[in-house]
């Protein structure tokens, strides 16, 4: 979800966009968390608006595709996440906790990749897809996601190995979602999906990882019949 892992490994200006990214996050995250805590209609409206805005950005990126092609492709990419986020929040017990867990894994993976990638640099992860992402960033993202799993187990009296393993799987899927959106942007020849969020580009740039993690989290809950972090 998230464009924090799109980084340059050049020493000069390495952190030049950190301030505006942090300011945007400071505004958006509290609003999202309030809606998550409230649940019900407020959460539903937030998820639907986000889905519609992402579909709009997708249509703008895929403007050269015929409408019968771009609409199904966009729905296939975005709708499962919208439905999964709504279902996970409404499901009890643990609805809010499940969504918060998956979001924390995504955020941690994104921040870990951003920080370690810019500090260490090194070989590229997938240069043909996203020249800015590094293998060190991928490792940082995975370690940060596992850390969320450990913290969730400690706070919720869960099983450490299980929680960390689930967080690791979701962390890998998070990075795959980031690469998927990078591949789409590269295919369409655009730098960002939009300009809605200062420092992050469009909503698709910010939520790309959530689009893959949310359906995976919903599938895990269906399979295990438990909250994610146990």
Q: How many CB atoms lie within 10 A of CB 148?
A: 27
Q: What percent of the chain clears pLDDT 90, i.e. is strictly above it? A: 59
Average pLDDT value over all residues in the chain = 87
Q: Is residue 154 in some structural domain?
A: yes
The pLDDT, as a whole number, for residue 18 is 65
The pLDDT, as a whole number, for residue 21 is 65
Beta strands in the chain (DSSP E): 124-126, 130-134
Q: Is residue 107 in some structural domain?
A: yes
The pLDDT, as a whole number, for residue 68 is 85
Q: Is residue 134 in some structural domain?
A: yes
Q: Is residue 20 in some structural domain?
A: yes
Domain count for the chain: 1
Cβ-based neighbours of 20, under 8 Å, separated by 6 or more: 198, 199
Tokens of 49: 């608006």
Q: Is residue 144 in some structural domain?
A: yes
The pLDDT, as a whole number, for residue 195 is 81
Question: What whole-number distance in Å separates Cα of residue 203 and Cα of residue 127?
Answer: 23
Q: Is residue 229 in some structural domain?
A: no
The pLDDT, as a whole number, for residue 225 is 77
| Lowest-confidence segment of 6-10, 131-135, 185-189 by average pLDDT | 6-10
Q: How many CB atoms lie within 10 A of CB 84?
A: 23
The pLDDT of 26-49, averaged and rounded, is: 92
Smallest CA-to-CA distance from 213 within 92, 105, 93, 68 is with 105
pLDDT tens profile 51-99: 999 999 999 999 988 888 899 999 999 999 999 999 999 998 889 999 9
What's the domain range around 179?
Answer: 3-224
What is the crossing angle of helices 67-90 and 95-120, to 10°? Answer: 120
The pLDDT, as a whole number, for residue 127 is 86
For 226, left (φ over 0), alpha (ψ -120 to 50), or beta? beta
Reply yes or no on whether the pLDDT at 8 is more than 70. Answer: no
**How would residue 198 be classed by pLDDT, with cut points 50, 70 and 90?**
low
pLDDT tens profile 113-172: 988 988 888 889 888 888 888 899 999 999 999 999 999 999 887 789 999 999 999 999
The pLDDT, as a whole number, for residue 11 is 40
Reply yes or no on whether the pLDDT at 1 is more than 50. Answer: no
The model's pTM is 0.87
Q: Is residue 209 in some structural domain?
A: yes
The pLDDT of 180-196, averaged and rounded, is: 89
| Phi, psi (rounded to 5 degrees) for 159 | -90, 120
Q: Is residue 230 in some structural domain?
A: no
DSSP assignments along 40-71, one per residue:
HHHHHHHHHHHHHHHHHHHHHHTTTS-HHHHH
DSSP assignments along 69-90, one per residue:
HHHHHHHHHHHHHHHHHHHHHH
Reply yes or no on whether the pLDDT at 13 is more than 80. Answer: no
């Amino acid at each position: 979800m998230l464009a924090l892992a799109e980084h340059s490994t050049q020493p000069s200006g390495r952190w030049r966009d950190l301030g505006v990214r942090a300011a945007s996050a400071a505004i958006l995250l509290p609003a999202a968390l309030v809606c998550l805590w409230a649940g019900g209609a407020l959460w539903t409206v937030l998820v639907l608006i986000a889905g519609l805005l992402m579909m709009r950005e997708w249509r703008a990126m895929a403007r050269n595709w015929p409408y019968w092609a771009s609409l199904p492709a966009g729905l296939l990419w975005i709708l499962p996440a919208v439905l999964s986020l709504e279902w996970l929040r409404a499901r009890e017990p643990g609805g809010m906790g499940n969504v918060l867990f998956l979001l924390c894994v995504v955020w941690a993976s994104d921040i870990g990749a951003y920080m370690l990638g810019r500090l260490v640099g090194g070989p590229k992860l997938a240069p043909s897809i996203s020249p800015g992402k590094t293998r060190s960033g991928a490792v940082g993202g995975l370690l940060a996601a596992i850390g969320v799993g450990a913290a969730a187990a400690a706070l919720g009296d869960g099983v450490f190995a299980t929680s960390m393993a689930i967080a690791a799987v979701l962390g890998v899927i998070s990075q795959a979602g980031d690469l998927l959106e990078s591949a789409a942007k590269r295919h369409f020849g655009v730098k960002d999906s939009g300009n809605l969020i200062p420092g992050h580009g469009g909503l698709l740039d910010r939520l790309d990882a959530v689009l893959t993690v949310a359906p995976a989290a919903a599938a895990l809950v269906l399979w295990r019949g438990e909250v994610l972090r146990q």
